[in-house]
Structure 1
């Protein structure tokens, strides 16, 4: 009797262990970006919500449901800020643009006026609302010393000026859109 009980117990434990492995995502986990961690990207995203036995929305306690942080298109950033940021940095080569995470990374740009200096921008759109604190710009600067580029301090004011230009363009776009309606 004891050996049957032991075999049954071990069999049940093996079945439970194997069935638990089916929910492990396959492939490499994604490195977190500036996106909202509650946004579902794909099954391989380490911050995606796991499936629930209670359905997609889980259990609704006291009539409250989980807030939807994405729009109908899945974009988690303000579309005016996104388009205005792309317009504002369009003179620079883009290294990366992620509309879902709200991140725009430019490549190095050398102005014609200062050939011994180059800049790079990282633009982060942080909100779905058109607000002044919904955007952040990081400026990186390098100067040429001989045949190599060396990091140099960038003016904080330059980042603010780019942020102001993006916000101004976003407001213009919004006013134009509302005038059409």
Structure 2
């Protein structure tokens, strides 16, 4: 009898711990779609869940599909595609190019683009342009550029991002129209 009481007490304590910590949450079935694919998509959009086997996909490289959804990110990479990239971190929201210059010149530039927001706005980007002037191989001076290159880059990126956003919106609505027509038929 004492053993049965101990087992019951332990089970009750574990249940109370799970309920009080919020691990067990009853869910309203009306808020979640019944199809597993739609539930997975909804959870991914909300940033929930994880995959146990995500690191074991046959030694393939990383998957960077998430960057395609951000028009600012895509536009920035398209605008500076002629420059070699030194560091690209989507999670940190920064792109740093390597030094770039025309052949047979001693002037090079380096661009840093920091994303402050995912929205297509002029204040969503912080762009810094650095110039390096070398008189010989050992005597180089690096300064932050005071020219209008950063403004020109900002305008080019925002124009391209606006086009991407409009294109994505049209694709999304076109798919919705097709589904509505199928539903009506």
TM-score category, normalised to shorter length: 0.5 to 0.7
Shift of 1:129: 1.4
- TM-score norm. by structure 1 comes to 0.55
- From the two aligned structures, give the one with the greater helix fraction: 2
Residues 73 and 159 from structure 1, CA distance in 2 versus in 1: closer, same or farther, beyond 3 angstroms? farther
Instruction: Report whether the alignment pairs 1:155 with 2:146.
Output: yes
| Cα deviation, residue 108, structure 1 | 0.4
- Return the alpha-carbon distance in structure 1 between the equivalents of residues 132 and 73 of structure 2: 26
In 2, the alpha carbon distance for the partners of 1:104 and 1:157 equals: 19
Consecutive unaligned residues of structure 1, counting only runs of 5 or more, are: 1-52, 57-69
Q: Is 2:127–2:150's contact at 8 Å kept on the other side of the alignment?
A: yes
1:144 aligns with 2:158: no
8 Å CA contact retained: 2:129, 2:144: no
SS where residue 148 of structure 2 aligns?
Answer: helix
- Count of residue pairs brought into register by the alignment: 115
Change (3 A) 1:132 1:107: same
Distance apart, 1:82 and its partner CA: 0.5
- CA displacement at 1:54 relative to structure 2: 4.1
Structure index of larger Rg: 2
Q: Within 5 Å, which residues of 2 pair with 1:87-106?
A: 87-106=78-97
Residue 159 of structure 2 corresponds to residue 168 of structure 1? yes
| Closer, same or farther: CA 116–133 of 1 in aligned 2, 3 Å | same
Q: Give the drift of 1:156.
A: 4.2
1:176: how far off?
2.0
5 Å-filtered alignment, 1:7-46, equals none
Deviates more, 1:87-96 or 1:171-180: 171-180
Give the corresponding residue for 2:116.
126
The structure with higher relative contact order (CA 8 Å, sep 6+) is 1
Q: CA RMSD in A?
A: 2.9
What secondary structure is seen at the aligned counterpart in 1 of 2:82? coil
Structure 1 runs (4+) deviating above 6 angstroms are: 73-76
TM-score by length of 2: 0.54
